[in-house]
Each structure stands twice: as structure tokens, then as C-alpha cells.
Amino acid sequence: MSSIPSAKRIDSTLALLRNPYGFIPDTCSDLESDLFETRILFQKTICMTGAAAAKIFYSENRLVRAGSMPGRIQKTLLGEAGIQGLDGKAHHHRKRMFMSLMASERIEALENTTRDLLDRYARDWETTDKVVLYDEVREILTRAACAWSGVPLPEEEVETRTAQMTALFQDAGAVGWKHWGARLARHRAERWAAGIIERVRDGSLQPGQESAAHVVATWRDLNGKLLTPKVAAVELLNVVRPIVAVSVFIVQAAHALHRHSHWQQKLKDDKEQLEYFVQEVRRLYPFFPAVAARVKSDFEWRGYRFSEGHRVLLDLYGTNTDARSWNAPQEFRPERFKDREENPYDFISQGGGDHHTNHRCPGEWIVISQMKAFCDYFVNAIDYDVLDQDLELDTGELPPLPKSRFILCNIKLRQ
């Protein structure tokens, strides 16, 4: 058996922080290997890239999630004891809870809520000089996510809850005060969500049976018991928070519409193109760089030993832009999705494998439908100009956005 190629440095934490999207694929390319070994946060870590590596990563019996996530990400982005750290039967059972929220009529209902909100917001945009798109979209999505999830959102709380949800996904990986702000946001958001769960359980709040608040509050684990208020709060936030996070992809889509402006006409003329366009944004614009797991028990892959307990990082962005799976991978070419056969391992912005049995994101259909609704609105419902601004994506932050947060002006609703 050969030993796994090693990165030059002993600990690669800084290199990863400096170059979150390039570190794994660039090191793999230097070593001419799909995997290498290093230390991250002083722990032995195997980093892997590409569709073949993703297939191994998502083969259930080899890797587990318990104990794989760094504490700082659990205390901010994800919360503790939620689905992300479950394995085997407990995971499958909890996953059923999330998948039960994803019926196509429900996804359409969320899309309709967003469209109504867009009409309302656009009327205000017409009377304003400049609109910071990211801020507006986050607020729209916070309102839509809460309404759809059966979570009451009094008008005076909109700003606070939007800021809390944003801190969870935007400042989780930050260092210093921003990170501590995200921890505080997690603490407050969980207290809020636990309060909602308790009100559903004592009958003082009665959201629709199909809403996330109702489903999570009444879900019973394999032992037949209700989730504790703390775990239920984490899971309710696992619905509301990522819907707000779709704002990142929406600003990235607006960015792509601006940079590749000939697509505006294509999307106007042909709705089918919307699907290809948003898929290409999801493939090419960076969001989460990698996902983590641990080796359950020793196994061998391509003659390399994976030893029990080692952490494994799967490169999401590098896999989406791997030249073995994608022609001209760095070019923005939505038409590549026409007639493309789906492969659960080569396009993994939201994880890979199977939605029901693996940890693949259950929210993928929501993301696609929301992105389509916004892009459709941008090209068919309003006219606008993009203010002269620096539109480089700031890769110093995760996920990367233009520093200006994408400013629009001269917005007019079409008749």
C-alpha cells in the first residue's frame, strides 16, 4: 500500500484560510493526485477533490459525520446536535423530516410568496436613488422564509432577525469580533426558535400542518420522543437560515446577468434557459468551499489507506470546476446544462450523492426555484441600471460577494 501524498507544510490551516477555494485543488494539481494528507487545526486531515473522490466520500459505510465539524462552525453556522452531525439510521430518520418539507407545491408556495414580496419591494425601489441588492434580498427572504415556515415575524423584528440569520452564514468562518458576533447571533436565534417550538407544542401558536414550525415541533425521533426544544430550534433554523442564505446566490446571479449581459435577452425569450443559467451560477460562483467527515474504520482506496478517525475534507468548488468533468470549467457557459446527464458527484455546491440517504442538501430545489424567480423578475418585471462600482468578488470573505453588495439604480417596474 502506498502512503498518501503529503502537502509541503506540516499544518495547512493558514494556507486554507488564505485561499479557501483554491487550496485543495491547487495542492492536488501540484502533487498530481486527487488527494493529499496534511494537518488542519493540528489534526491529520485527508483532502480530496473530483467526482471519484466525492463518490467515496458519500459512500455511507466509510465515513461518518459525528465529531467531524470544527467547534467554531457548530457554534455559529450549524448549531449543535442538528442533522449535520448524525449518522446511519438516526440521520435517515431526521432526513425524512426535512425531505417532507420539500413537496413541489410547497416549493411553489414559497416562490409565490417571494414574488409577491418582490412586487411590494420594487414599488419602493422605484422611489429610491440606489438599492443595495444584497440587503434587500436578505430582508425579502427572511420574510418569505418565516411566513413559509409558520414562524411569526412582527414588523419590528424584521431587521434583527435578518441580521441574525445573516451573521450565521456570513460570519461563521470569520476570525475575531465577527466570529463572536456570529456566536451571539446563534445564541439569540436559538432562544427565539425554541420559543416558537414551545408555543406550537402548547397550542398557543398554530401554524399550518405542512409548515416547518409544525413539522419540527411534532417530529418524533427513533426513540419515539419529541426533539428537545434546543435540538428542534437548531433544526428550525436549519430551514430559515439557509433560505436567507440564498441571497448570496441571487446577488451572484445578478452579477452574472451583468457580466454576461447577452443572457438577459436569452432569459426573456426562453424560460427553459433560466434553469441552465441558475445552474451555471451555482456551479461556478463560490459558496461553501468544502465539507468534512471522519473515517469510520480503516479502508483502502486506490491503494491508499484511510485510517480510522482521520478527518477527510471534500473539495466542493474544485470538484465543480474540475476539467475532467467540465469543458472550459472556468468559463460561464449555461448552455452546457442543456441535455447534460445528471451525475450526483460532479456538481456538488450543495453536497453530493443521494438526498435521502446522504447528507446532500435537502434545500436544492428551493434554491433553484428562488434563483429562477429572482432572475425572471430582473429580466422581465423591472428595468434597472447597475451603478458604476467595484464588482470584483471579495474572496477574503466566505461566501464571496462584491464589497458594494451590488448596487442598482433607476429601477422602474414594467407596465
- Which residues here bind ligand HEM, judged by CB under 6 A? 83-84, 95, 98, 238-239, 242-243, 245-246, 249, 287-288, 291, 349-351, 359-363, 366-367
- Of 31 and 66, the one with the shorter C-beta distance to ligand HEM is 66
CB of 101 to ligand HEM, least distance (A): 7
- Of 91 and 310, the one with the shorter C-beta distance to ligand HEM is 91
CB of 244 to ligand HEM, least distance (A): 8
- Of 311 and 359, the one with the shorter C-beta distance to ligand HEM is 359
Give the Cα separation of 56 and 356 in Å (integer): 17
CB of 239 to ligand HEM, least distance (A): 5
Q: How far is CA 267 from CA 126, 329, 335, 368, 383, in A?
A: 23, 22, 12, 15, 14
In this structure, is the dihedral angle defined by the CA atoms of residues 178, 181, 182 and 183, taken in order, positive or negative? positive
- Of 125 and 173, the one with the shorter C-beta distance to ligand HEM is 173
Residues 129-155 as b/e (b if ≥16 CB within 10 A, e otherwise) read eebebbbbbbbbbbbbbbbbbbbebee
- Of 244 and 411, the one with the shorter C-beta distance to ligand HEM is 244
- Of 31 and 153, the one with the shorter C-beta distance to ligand HEM is 153
CB of 174 to ligand HEM, least distance (A): 17
CB of 245 to ligand HEM, least distance (A): 4
Collect all residues with Cβ–Cβ distance below 8 Å to 295 and sequence separation of at least 6: 46, 62, 63, 306, 307, 308, 309, 310, 312
Give the Cα separation of 94 and 235 in Å (integer): 10
CB of 235 to ligand HEM, least distance (A): 7
Residue 235, C-alpha cell as written in the block: 433544526
Residues 253-288 as b/e (b if ≥16 CB within 10 A, e otherwise) read bbbbbbebeebbebbeeeeebbebbbbbbbbbbbbb
Tell how strand 43-48 and strand 311-315 pair up: parallel
- Of 98 and 276, the one with the shorter C-beta distance to ligand HEM is 98
Within 10 angstroms of residue 182's Cβ, the number of other Cβ atoms is 25
Nearest-CB residue for ligand HEM: 363
CB of 202 to ligand HEM, least distance (A): 26
361 is in an annotated binding site: yes
Residues belonging to the binding site for heme are 361
Residues belonging to the binding site are 361
